[in-house]
């Protein structure tokens, strides 16, 4: 199992800064996902900024979230 998110911060231009349970920090670009119907509400940047971490999963509400393995594997690691 890959590390899970423990904290998330919206940066700008649909980019998230994520701290993982192994203390790595990654940057995740949401732009490629905004074309899918389930993620279309995230095109509203004010709504997109409301991202939270719930049990290691990035989540916006009860029906919009991102697979935690995908988030970890596709995040670009940043130096701490």
Q: What tens digit of pLDDT does each residue of 49-77 get?
A: 999 999 999 999 989 999 999 999 999 99
Q: Given the DSSP bridges, would you call strands 5-10 and 57-59 parallel, antiparallel or unpaired?
A: unpaired
pLDDT at 62: 87
Domain range for 41 is 5-78
- Cα distance between residue 63 and residue 37, in whole Å: 12
pLDDT of 15 above 90:
yes
Q: Given the DSSP bridges, would you call strands 15-20 and 5-10 parallel, antiparallel or unpaired?
A: antiparallel
CATH code of residue 33:
3.30.2020.10
* Mean confidence (pLDDT) of the chain: 95
Collect all residues with Cβ–Cβ distance below 8 Å to 70 and sequence separation of at least 6.
none
What total of structural domains would you count in the chain? 1
The predicted model scores a pTM of 0.92
pLDDT at 80: 66
């Amino acid at each position: 199992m890959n590390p899970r998110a423990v904290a998330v911060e919206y940066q700008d231009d649909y980019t998230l800064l994520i701290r993982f349970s192994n203390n790595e920090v990654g940057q995740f670009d949401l732009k490629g996902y905004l074309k899918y119907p389930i993620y279309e509400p995230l095109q509203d940047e004010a709504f997109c900024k409301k991202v939270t971490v719930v049990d290691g999963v990035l989540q916006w509400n009860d029906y919009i979230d991102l697979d935690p393995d995908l988030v970890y594997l596709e995040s670009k690691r940043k130096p701490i």
